[in-house]
Structure 1
């Protein structure tokens, strides 16, 4: 099978970990960009990337690049592609557009012109045309214009890859699954200690942490990928790739625990964990983190997404102070990480973060912060080494 170029799209700040994931999976010619990483692989690798990448939102397969200066050059460029290779008359398609250009400012306009070019080509060649279907298209086409450079790609994923297929119940402000997986990887989580999410909501961090720890492909529960409707879809190859990934699953000898003080969140988390077939690894408790202490005398990795005050009505100063106090008093020998969109509130924690990473949660600029809680004093720790 021939290798071809692909592009994995991701969130700002995840480019390095996505490149590392691709390297581990066996991708070739990996190059980092902004919110994306390009790489090479064959068709089987495209299937594997969709199944196994934790921090990718989409896997695109570029089929043509050309310069665009105006509406005419866009239309001609799109029309110069032989669309009958990718699309049959009875099939449907949709066009997604991203633009960063002075010449083209409206995504809707670019989508319309691109659609016209494809439809006109079919009409001229076959006196008929494929339909548009925004909900369930047979082919998802991605048109990306960067200044005067237009890249046309086929979207091999379909719905964004954060739709893992396990989360049916969500609470007020659920964290995106790809964002959760990326935060866990940035925090250094690899499954080598106990894990706690003390404000677990609908359980996304817990599920993603268990999948990382057990090396379970993140999209194994997903119902479908866009490439399953492509003309060159190879079901046997897909099954072989899936089986080879499932053989690499390993056991996890530590504990994964979630707390939430809302009984409704606990129930939702348990439902989602069951959907992901991970109940044997994860325990969810109805607890208020601020009234807890560490249970085991061994290293603990904490990752959580506290309320920001954006959607939830909380007294921020007191709330963030209690996070700091609880960690200080009850959680020695712990690495604690959390993400917050309320950067001001961090000063109330009363602890100095050892790391701060800029990320975005949706459109909200956020910080992922790390607090290291030592057993005894920090000075002692270094004297003992």
Structure 2
């Protein structure tokens, strides 16, 4: 099977993590960009990347790049592709467009022109045309125009890869699964310690932590990928790849614990962990973090996403002060990480973070902060990494 170029898209701040994941999976010619990493692999690797990558949002397969300085050039460039290789008249397609160009300023206009070029090609050859289907297309076509350069790609993934397939019940503002996995990897979580999320919401960090600890492919529970509707779909190859990935799962010898003070959140988290077939690794209970203390011997790895904005109907200053006090007084020998988009609130934690990493939670600029919590009297003393 031939190798070809692919592009994995990700969040700002996760490019290095994704690059590392791709290298570990066996990708060739891996190159890091902004919010993306390009690489080479064959069809089997394309299946593997979609199944296994934790920090990828989408995997695109570029099929044609050309210069487009005007509308006619765009039309001609799209017509230069033999679309019957990828699509039949009976099938449906959809076009997604992103543009950074002074020539082309409306993505909808570009999508329309691209659609016309594809449809006209089929009409000229067969007298018939494939249909557009925005919800369940057989082929997703991605058009990216950067100034005068137009890249046409096939979307191999379909809906964003953060939609893992295990989360049916969510709370208000649940954390994106790819964001959760990236935060865990940035925190150095590798399954070699006990783990706790003391404000677990619908359980996303717990599920991602368990999958990382056991080396379970991130998208094992996903219902489908876009490539399953392609003309060259190879179900035998896909099953072989999946089987090989499942042989690499690991045993986990520690505990993963989740707390939430809302009974509804605990119920949802338990349902989601069960959907993911991860409930044997994770215990979830209804607790108020501020009234808990460390319940395990040895090092503890803590990662959480405190409520914010609309989710926080209590006083922000007091809330963050209590986070700091609880960690400091009741969780010795713990490495604690949390993400917040309330940058002002960090002042009230009362501890000095040993690391701050800039991320985005949706469109909100956020910080992922790390606190080293020691045994005994080192309350105010923090090691800088």
- Asked if structure 1 preserves the Cα contact closer than 8 Å seen for 2:372 and 2:382, the reply is no
User: Residues 85-164 of structure 1: matches in 2 within 5 Å?
Assistant: 85-164=85-164
The residue that corresponds to 1:68 in the other structure is 68
Q: Distance in 2 between matches of 1:169 and 1:85?
A: 40
Q: Distance in 1 between matches of 2:253 and 2:147?
A: 51
Greater mean deviation of Cα atoms: 153-162 or 96-105: 96-105
Q: Deviations over 1:15-73 (max 9, x none)?
A: 00000000000001000011000000000000000000000000100000111112111
Q: Distance in 2 between matches of 1:2 and 1:65?
A: 19
Structure 1: runs of 5 or more not aligned? none
The residue that corresponds to 2:11 in the other structure is 11
Structure 2: runs of 5 or more not aligned? none
The residue that corresponds to 1:165 in the other structure is 165
Secondary structure of the residue aligned to 1:61 is strand
Q: Distance in 2 between matches of 1:148 and 1:355?
A: 41
Q: Deviations over 1:76-135 (max 9, x none)?
A: 111111101000000000001111112222111111111011011111111110000000
Q: TM (normalized to structure 2)?
A: 0.97
Q: Deviations over 1:231-270 (max 9, x none)?
A: 1111100000000001111111100000000000000000
Q: Distance in 1 between matches of 2:41 and 2:192?
A: 31
Q: Give 1:378 deviation, angstroms.
A: 4.8
The residue that corresponds to 1:26 in the other structure is 26
Q: Deviations over 1:298-333 (max 9, x none)?
A: 100000000122443221000000000000000011
User: Residues 1-385 of structure 1: matches in 2 within 5 Å?
Assistant: 1-378=1-378
Q: Distance in 2 between matches of 1:271 and 1:72?
A: 53
Secondary structure of the residue aligned to 2:145 is strand
Secondary structure of the residue aligned to 2:122 is helix
Q: Distance in 2 between matches of 1:362 and 1:137?
A: 26
Q: Evaluate the alpha carbon distance shift between residue 118 and residue 276 of structure 1 in structure 2; reply closer, same or farther with a 3 A threshold.
A: same
Runs of 4+ in 1 over 3 A off after TM superposition: 377-383
Q: Distance in 2 between matches of 1:364 and 1:282?
A: 30
- Asked if structure 1 preserves the Cα contact closer than 8 Å seen for 2:9 and 2:59, the reply is yes
Secondary structure of the residue aligned to 1:213 is helix
Greater mean deviation of Cα atoms: 89-98 or 104-113: 104-113
Q: Give 1:375 deviation, angstroms.
A: 1.5
Q: Give 1:382 deviation, angstroms.
A: 11
Q: Give 1:380 deviation, angstroms.
A: 12
Q: Distance in 1 between matches of 2:271 and 2:310?
A: 26
- Asked if structure 1 preserves the Cα contact closer than 8 Å seen for 2:354 and 2:382, the reply is no
- Asked if structure 2 preserves the Cα contact closer than 8 Å seen for 1:8 and 1:58, the reply is yes
Greater mean deviation of Cα atoms: 186-195 or 103-112: 103-112
Q: Distance in 1 between matches of 2:179 and 2:72?
A: 39
Q: Deviations over 1:207-253 (max 9, x none)?
A: 00000000000101111100001011111000000000011111111
Q: TM (normalized to structure 1)?
A: 0.97
Secondary structure of the residue aligned to 2:128 is coil
Q: Distance in 2 between matches of 1:327 and 1:33?
A: 37
Q: Give 1:372 deviation, angstroms.
A: 0.7
RMSD: 1.5
Secondary structure of the residue aligned to 1:104 is coil
Greater mean deviation of Cα atoms: 61-70 or 96-105: 96-105
- Asked if structure 2 preserves the Cα contact closer than 8 Å seen for 1:196 and 1:258, the reply is yes
